[in-house]
Amino acid sequence: LGLSFFLSIQEKVSAQNDTPLWAKETPEQKTKRMQWWTHDRFGMFIHWGIYALPARHEWVKNRERISDEAYQTYFNHFNPDLYNPEEWAAKAKAAGVKYVVITTKHHDGFCLWDSKYTDFKVTNTPYKKDLIRPFVEAFRNAGIQIGFYYSLIDWHHPDFPYDRMHPNAPQTKEERVKANEKRDLKKYQQYMKDQLTELLTQYGQIDELFLDFSYPGEEGKGHEDWDAEGLLKVIRKLQPQILVDNRLDLDDTTWGWDFVTPEQFMPQEWPTVNGVRVPWETCQTFSGSWGYYRDEYTWKSPHQLVVMLIETVSKGGNLLLNVGPTARGVFDDRADERLSAIGRWMKFHSRSIYGCTQAPDDFKVPQNCFLTYNPETKRLYIHVLEWPFKSLNLPGYKGRIKYAQLLNDDSEIQFRTQAVKGSHTTESTGEDDVILSLPVERPDVEVPVIELILN
């Protein structure tokens, strides 16, 4: 009876109380593992692949039920001649982005690296070269942490069973069941393990892994279909420090995910699991699509995007903001404009984002504002969405403020506790309120921020 027997007993025992041995970690260890991420707050998502050619959403194969043969056209024409990841990294950095997550493979199954387990990869397109290695190098050189998105779904792999979402599935359930007899899910599970092993061994340290996604239920896919536990075990073994999203359908466990991932809407408040606030990262698009979509015109304004970043951090979360580069390999003008605007704001206000989180509950939120708070420096940031004239009332802040300034220029903001008394003033305050004396002219920035240095 050697060590391995002992370990296998251990594994069984701990499985009974839910956590496999290899996934054991104290809450303190987890907090420490996630520290860079909860500090950095702002990441860039990049959705890129051959769907940039049709330029009609990354789900185009599904939406238009495009056959493998027809979809191959895009593969045959993929040649991003202007691809320059240094330029991407420079733009990301200027926008204040601290980490990046790129689609190594999306649902269509196309791989952006030279995987030895498939032919459906960039090195077989007219472009011929691996896209991921230069990408990783460029972003790492810019001081940006690296994340990979990897689609669990695969509409190209011959062993991925037809289901309710597969664009090329036969029409009737009977036909699907029949066709699936030739599809070996076990082989597909191994394919994912092999590919993730490539991704997690050939590119140095990978900081985040975004697996996408589960849809359990009838003719869907969930943790058993993925062998989610087996997959995660491989991942953690190869990159113990990596942060993994919650889309493996292991939400019911405490160990099968690091953060939750609401997308395309803003949570009302800090998301909780069993009543406890959990780490969260919301991914959002500039327009409605993740992949480059030429004719999509519902683009969010720079103001909406800056507010989105602030609101996310004010609720203790991270924002992963998506760019969908074109098939030539560049960010289009609409994306560039927005990134520059965010960068202009971040240049002067990143102090209210990095290292910040939701303010303690005993700081009431002033009217038309969002609050963020840096627990280390003990500074409170008031993001003023609608600039009032002359004064801003801070309810119950009396005795708590040492100094106040505008963040964009470190110019002093004077404050008082007494309302101005005069026959025509209506200014009224509670006993414990503080009134900030603001310039009438709104600072010329996307969202002005007041920094309070607390007692």
Token pair in block for residue 170: 């036969």
State which residue, 47 or 236, has the beta carbon closest to ligand GLC. Answer: 47
Nearest-approach distance from CB 376 to ligand GLC, in angstroms: 30
Rounded to whole angstroms, what are the CA distances from 174 to 162, 165, 169, 171, 179? 11, 16, 11, 9, 9
Residues from 243 through 302 that contact ligand GLC (CB under 6 A)? 263, 283, 290
State which residue, 137 or 263, has the beta carbon closest to ligand GLC. Answer: 263
State which residue, 149 or 363, has the beta carbon closest to ligand GLC. Answer: 149
The burial class, CB within 10 Å (0-12 / 13-18 / 19+), for 179 is middle
Number of Cα atoms under 13 Å in the Cβ half of residue 370: 22
Token pair in block for residue 417: 């506790």
Q: Give the number of residues in contact with ligand GLC, rule: CB under 6 A.
A: 8
Nearest-approach distance from CB 291 to ligand GLC, in angstroms: 7
Contact with ligand GLC (CB under 6 A) among 58, 108, 198, 281? 58
**For residue 139, what is the enclosing H or E element?**
helix 132-141
DSSP conformational letter for 123: G
CA distance linking residue 329 with residue 53, whole number of Å: 11
**Bridge partner list, 381:** 372, 451
By CB under 6 A, residue 212 contacts ligand GLC = yes
Residues from 35 through 54 that contact ligand GLC (CB under 6 A)? 47
Residue 135-164 contact track with ligand GLC, rule CB under 6 A, x = bound: ------------------------------
Nearest-approach distance from CB 375 to ligand GLC, in angstroms: 29
**For residue 87, what is the enclosing H or E element?**
helix 85-95
Nearest-approach distance from CB 128 to ligand GLC, in angstroms: 26
Nearest-approach distance from CB 103 to ligand GLC, in angstroms: 7
Token pair in block for residue 235: 């991942």
Nearest-approach distance from CB 94 to ligand GLC, in angstroms: 24
Nearest-approach distance from CB 391 to ligand GLC, in angstroms: 42
Are 302 and 344 in contact, with CB atoms under 8 Å apart?
Answer: no
State which residue, 53 or 413, has the beta carbon closest to ligand GLC. Answer: 53
Task: Describe the crossing of helices 333-349 and 85-95 by its angle, rounded to 10 degrees.
Answer: 40
State which residue, 59 or 257, has the beta carbon closest to ligand GLC. Answer: 59
Are 270 and 358 in contact, with CB atoms under 8 Å apart?
Answer: yes
State which residue, 88 or 293, has the beta carbon closest to ligand GLC. Answer: 293
Q: Which residues bind ligand GLC (CB under 6 A)?
A: 47, 58-59, 212-213, 263, 283, 290
